[in-house]
Structure 1
């Protein structure tokens, strides 16, 4: 049933939204940190828990413990890598990009931001990031998008890769959340259209994601649907799992916004 709302009700709802948005902006720092510098610093050998090179077109999943960091780096050339995640203790809790965008008032995820679950908790903190060029709106490739772009050539895609990951974890395709596409420079123009902005990338980019709970994390290394390159040639991507380090109480990701503060409070309550 379609509910028609009066102009007065619509205006009142808009006013409440704008008031809440202003409070969020007023709390937030005036500027987040600059992008992380390149080249990425070397990870000490004793801090490396595991290092995996994901070939172009392939997938990989891993367990990650609270306060460990996942560094995803383009050491072998450009590629877009999609990521999904589940709470290891309760996989019904999973990465939620709509809430991540809505709660932080931005689609621009970068250093200092966090990534929320669908239960209002923080799953990842973005502690380092050399590009800020990540897509949290479109998701990854599918068999249909690949067929439209590459024709009849046999190519792997992100949706099918994540179905395989979910199956190996004892989950169903319905458990797969919307994927975050790392190193996908997607922006929305004034007309509401998606645009690919390659100038946001810097070559050997990297991002570091600190785990804020024990998780199962899946990756898919396939071209983004908007990648303008006509050939299906994803480069290998390196994922380094780095040993846990307890963050400081005034850690930027924990204090940057009122919504992040509440998210970490939810984490603490769940752990109590």
Structure 2
């Protein structure tokens, strides 16, 4: 499988024409449903921020994003413009239509209290983490429970793979104002944890806000 970087692909969509815009503070979450054809932009406002994201088929949340199916289908460890995100069933959920970062991780997983203690030290146990944020956001939706926390996408996060197959967490390759845009192919529920991690370079040891913008389905023809 190739792990080479990709040439950034920009979008012609104008935020002034968007139907929705929201700033996600560092360490907080966001949950939203997308209709087919709607376009979601996730923007790294200050640079070097990891945005942990899960995707679910809205009408059947048990059919959620599959990192394994997506990686196998595209024969690439990383996500970028042109990547199609697949569900466990093989159903196409979203397509990345623009990306000014270059690539995004989907194998590093989300931080949790338990993983923090294993990777760093026991005194990190009380620190806020993405799993806590995911659970908090899902607590308001009766169709979800903790079994729905599956492998996620880490937008803007840099997780190089060594020749021996080991993962390393490195300084981010993103920058202020870089973004990724995804077009919904099916009805999709998007769950975001704007990562609060302070113990590795994924956030530059300083978590910062991210922005989400949504355009109506009519905007899909605005791409280059």
Same fold, TM-score > 0.5, yes or no? yes
Partner of 2:76: 106
Q: Do the aligned residues in 2 keep the contact of 1:33 with 1:112 (CA within 8 Å)?
A: no
2:30 corresponding residue in structure 1? 60
For 1:233, the equivalent position in structure 2 comes to: 206
Matched, 1:43 2:30: no
State the Cα distance separating 1:172 from its structure 2 match.
Answer: 0.9
The corresponding residue for 1:73 is 43
Alignment root-mean-square deviation, CA = 3.1
CA distance in 2, matches of 1:116, 1:41: 25
Whether the aligned pair in 2 keeps the contact of 1:83 and 1:182 (CA below 8 Å) is: yes
Tell me which protein shows more strand as a share of its residues.
2
Q: Give the Cα–Cα distance (whole angstroms) in 2 for the partners of residues 104 and 225 of structure 1.
A: 32
Runs of 4+ in 1 over 4 A off after TM superposition: 223-226, 229-232
Moved more, 124-133 or 194-203: 194-203
Instruction: Report Cα offsets for 1:144-167 as digits up to 9, x if no partner.
Output: 234454745853211111112222
Q: Distance in 2 between matches of 1:105 and 1:154?
A: 38
1:207 matched residue in structure 2: 180
Deviation track 1:217-259 (CA, whole Å, cap 9, x = no partner) reads 10001146883379853100001111113757xx99xxxxxxx
CA 1:194–1:66 in structure 2 vs 1: closer, same or farther (change >3 Å)? same
How much has 1:91 moved relative to structure 2?
1.4
Mapped to 2, the partners of 1:240 and 1:176 lie a distance apart of 24
8 Å contact from structure 1 (residues 48, 243) kept in 2:
yes
CA deviation after TM superposition for structure 1 residue 204, in Å? 2.7
- Structure having the higher helix fraction is 1
For residues 158 and 62 of structure 2, the distance between their equivalents in structure 1, rounded to whole angstroms, comes to 30
Quote how far apart the aligned CAs of 1:113 are: 1.1
Q: Does 1:164 align with 2:136?
A: yes
Task: Determine if contact 1:145/1:225 at 8 Å carries over to the other structure.
Answer: no
Does residue 176 (structure 1) correspond to residue 117 (structure 2)? The answer is no
Assess, with a 3 A threshold, how the Cα gap between structure 1 residues 42 and 210 changes in structure 2: closer, same or farther.
Answer: closer
How many residue pairs get matched? 219
Measured at CA, do residues 168 and 63 of structure 1 come closer, stay the same or move farther in structure 2, by a change above 3 Å?
Answer: same
SS, match of residue 77 in structure 2:
coil
Q: Distance between the aligned counterparts of 2:218 and 2:66, measured in 1?
A: 25
Q: Does 1:135 align with 2:108?
A: no
Q: Is the 8 A contact 2:50 2:203 kept in 1?
A: no
